[in-house]
Amino acid sequence: MSTQEIALTPAAEISLPLTARLHDLVLTVDHKKLGLMYIGTALVFFALSGLMAFTIRMQLLVPNNAVLPPDVFNRFFTMHGTTMVFFVGMPIIAGLMNYLVPLMIGARDMAFPRLNAFGYWMTLFGGALLYFSYLAAPGLAGAGSAPDVGWFAYAPLTGRAFSRGSSTDFWILGLLVSGIGSSASALNVIATIVTLRCKGMTFMRMPLFVWMVLIVSGMILLAMPPLSAAQVMLLLDRFLGAHFFDTQAGGSAVLWQHFFWLFGHPEVYILMIPAFASASEIIPVFSRKPIFGYPAMVAATMLIGLISVGVWAHHMFSIGMTAMSNTFFVASTLLVGVPTGIKIFNWLGTLYGGQIRFELPMLFCLGFLFQFLIAGLTGVMLGAAPFNWQLTDSYFVVAHFHYTLVGGFLFMMFAAIYYWYPKATGRMLSKNLGLWHFWLFLIGFHLTFDPQHIAGILGMPRRIYTYDPGRSWEIYNMISSVGALFQAAGVACLVINLLRSLRHGTIAGNDPWDAWTLEWSTTSPPPEYNFEILPEVRSRRPLWDLKHPEDPDWKYE
């Protein structure tokens, strides 16, 4: 590989005609281009699925509203959930891993560059297949299109008897295909980290980001098969008359739920751990201190990975399990809180005694810390089975997981974008626009999701396309919908910033944040071969050692 790659400097590339550049994107096996393509794809799907969420909120603005008819509403929340998890969350973390892992471990590319490209294209085709349903598939009601069975696709609503037409088939196939992509990408990350670390980089000297995505990749390999298997079984049900989930022929609806959540719960951590990984890079740099308790962070991540495969049935407390099973899943679920708590405390320990710089990445990180703390605590409430019997499938759950995935995951992805954009493009994002983005989105986020906790406590169920007045839900829904406007405005600032700064941002230089990991030692953007000379490291913070020869880290580690 590396012999052919001396060809293009970034400056020469821009001068190429558009078609040649597009052609290059199709053929490329460069981890950085693929990484950015993953992230770009994720952002396009994010805008699409964000618009759906916005329309959903407009429908729920007032009782008995008629912005969306029920069937369209049901398709929107199905597509919103499916897209956000599989075609925003998964590609954006795949993009970050692909872009950053080789740079952070001092390698020239991923272990399997072609597999890397294969993974990306499978993800994109999976997404395209899912959205093709809008053109090709009749839905539940027999007319119109797109999957409308919820992102969790509970049996037997997905059976032939209740989901006529082919919209559910598009859902199955789109996810199956993208699942292959995710698995390929996970496999590649593991192989890369295990085999391509530069000289001196032992496992315990890897940046925490690398450690965490290594664990995430292992989790992806464990979590995807149950989903893929269940989807194949569902295809067999739908096309070949198998009866795995066909309750009218003795199949089991609960079996689907077990399969789905055996994937679905680890999936939450698959998304969250890369967010933790980014926080573990950004918080130290902007506190000017090394991460507090590196070994504890590694151990906590491993524990989260381990425990997260044993908690899935906490999504199923209301299916009528025995008291014994309920008790088991309460205990295992609450136990996840311990390593998660350890992480929050270690970030706190990192901040403590530091010199906190309120740059954009750090602002999003601090928002993440508070919001993730709340998400974790509402998670404890949901983890207590009796409380869960009241809260599950209510708006409280909607609030809880949006706190996790928007307040936690998305805030960290924004932080990561502000942090690594200068590395990827060579230019800084505008701080001014970034501050608009941060404050608008922060206000919008809280306006939208804080009141949903109360709506849930007041008995508002999820996935309802409308509601009657007189159950004291109106005010919360109205605030929630107004918040969506703020969020949309915030995201618009981000999009403008991303595009505008490509040309007009100030030049970043190699190391704009005065950071310590290897990706900041090469040029911005890095050359195709990443490092002219492969680096050698003696500690977890090689650039600290360079900048502080009088007090290097390797003396203490």
Partner 1 sequence: MSLNWLWLIIKNALQRRGGTSLCLAVVAMLEASAAYAEVPTVTNIFKPLSTPAESIYQNASLVLSICAAIFLVVGGLLAYTIIRFRRRPEDESREPPQVYGSNQIELAWTVIPVLIVLVITLATTRTIYDVQGALPPPDTVNVTVVGHQWWWEIRYPDLGIVTANELHVPVTESGIRRPTFLKLESADVAHSFWVPQLAGKIDLIPNRRNQMWIEPTQPGTYVGNCAEYCGMQHARMLLRVIAHTPEDFERWVAAQKQPPVDDPQLRAGRDVFFSTSCINCHAIKQTRANGQFGPDLTHLMSRETLGSGVVPNTVENLRAWVRDPQHIKPGALMPNMQLSDGELNQMVAYLSSLK
**Angle 312-313-317 from CA coordinates, rounded to 5°:** 145
State the Cα–Cα distance between residues 557 and 544, nearest whole angstrom.
13
Is 239 an interacting residue with respect to partner 1 (CB under 8 A)? no
Other CB atoms within 10 A of residue 268 CB:
22
Shortest CA distance to 97 belongs to which of 510, 434, 438, 420? 420
State the Cα–Cα distance between residues 362 and 359, nearest whole angstrom.
5
Q: Which of 138, 225, 310, 354 binds partner 1 (CB under 8 A)?
A: 354
Q: What is the DSSP letter of 152?
A: T
Question: Structure tokens of 295?
Answer: 């070994």
Rounded least distance, CB 336 to partner 1, Å: 9
| In contact, 83 and 146? CB cutoff 8 Å | no
3-class SS letters over 119-142: HHHHHHHHHHHHHHHHHHCCCCCC
Q: Which of 232, 335, 496, 534 binds partner 1 (CB under 8 A)?
A: 335
| In contact, 107 and 97? CB cutoff 8 Å | no
Is 358 an interacting residue with respect to partner 1 (CB under 8 A)? yes
Site residues for partner 1, 384-413, by CB under 8 A, read: 384-394
State the Cα–Cα distance between residues 551 and 355, nearest whole angstrom.
18
Is 551 an interacting residue with respect to partner 1 (CB under 8 A)? yes
* Residue closer to partner 1, measured from CB, 111 or 369: 369
Q: Which of 357, 432, 509, 536 binds partner 1 (CB under 8 A)?
A: 357
Residue with tokens 């508070």, as numbered in its chain: 370
Q: What is the DSSP letter of 3?
A: G
Question: What is the Cα 377 distance to its own chain's centre?
Answer: 20
Site residues for partner 1, 164-223, by CB under 8 A, read: none
Other CB atoms within 10 A of residue 4 CB:
7
Is 9 an interacting residue with respect to partner 1 (CB under 8 A)? no
Is 12 an interacting residue with respect to partner 1 (CB under 8 A)? no
| In contact, 441 and 486? CB cutoff 8 Å | yes
| In contact, 314 and 266? CB cutoff 8 Å | no
Site residues for partner 1, 440-469, by CB under 8 A, read: 454, 457-467, 469
Rounded least distance, CB 554 to partner 1, Å: 12
Is 66 an interacting residue with respect to partner 1 (CB under 8 A)? no
Site residues for partner 1, 277-306, by CB under 8 A, read: 287-290, 292-296
* Residue closer to partner 1, measured from CB, 185 or 333: 333
3-class SS letters over 188-216: HHHHHHHHCCCECCCHHHCCHHHHHHHHH
Q: Which of 167, 326, 452, 480 binds partner 1 (CB under 8 A)?
A: 326
| Binding segment toward partner 1, per CB under 8 A, in 31-39, 40-48, 66-74, 172-180 | 66-74
| Binding segment toward partner 1, per CB under 8 A, in 229-237, 370-378, 485-493, 498-506 | 370-378
Rounded least distance, CB 169 to partner 1, Å: 17
State the Cα–Cα distance between residues 258 and 249, nearest whole angstrom.
19
Is 162 an interacting residue with respect to partner 1 (CB under 8 A)? yes
Cα→Cα distances 57→223, 441, 481, 502, Å: 31, 16, 5, 33
| Binding segment toward partner 1, per CB under 8 A, in 107-115, 172-180, 314-322, 407-415 | 314-322
Q: Which of 97, 342, 360, 413 binds partner 1 (CB under 8 A)?
A: 342
Binding characters for partner 1, 495-514, by CB under 8 A (x = yes): --------------------
**Angle 395-397-403 from CA coordinates, rounded to 5°:** 105
Rounded least distance, CB 200 to partner 1, Å: 19
Rounded least distance, CB 73 to partner 1, Å: 8
State the Cα–Cα distance between residues 535 and 102, nearest whole angstrom.
12
Is 536 an interacting residue with respect to partner 1 (CB under 8 A)? no
Site residue total, partner 1 (CB under 8 A): 101
Site residues for partner 1, 70-129, by CB under 8 A, read: 70-71, 74
Rounded least distance, CB 406 to partner 1, Å: 19
Is 471 an interacting residue with respect to partner 1 (CB under 8 A)? yes
The SS3 call for residue 155 is: coil
Rounded least distance, CB 341 to partner 1, Å: 5
| In contact, 174 and 130? CB cutoff 8 Å | yes
State the Cα–Cα distance between residues 88 and 549, nearest whole angstrom.
42
Rounded least distance, CB 311 to partner 1, Å: 13
Is 546 an interacting residue with respect to partner 1 (CB under 8 A)? no
Is 330 an interacting residue with respect to partner 1 (CB under 8 A)? yes
Is 38 an interacting residue with respect to partner 1 (CB under 8 A)? no
* Residue closer to partner 1, measured from CB, 40 or 349: 349
Q: Which of 222, 349, 492, 523 binds partner 1 (CB under 8 A)?
A: 349
Site residues for partner 1, 242-271, by CB under 8 A, read: 247-248, 250-254
Is 548 an interacting residue with respect to partner 1 (CB under 8 A)? yes
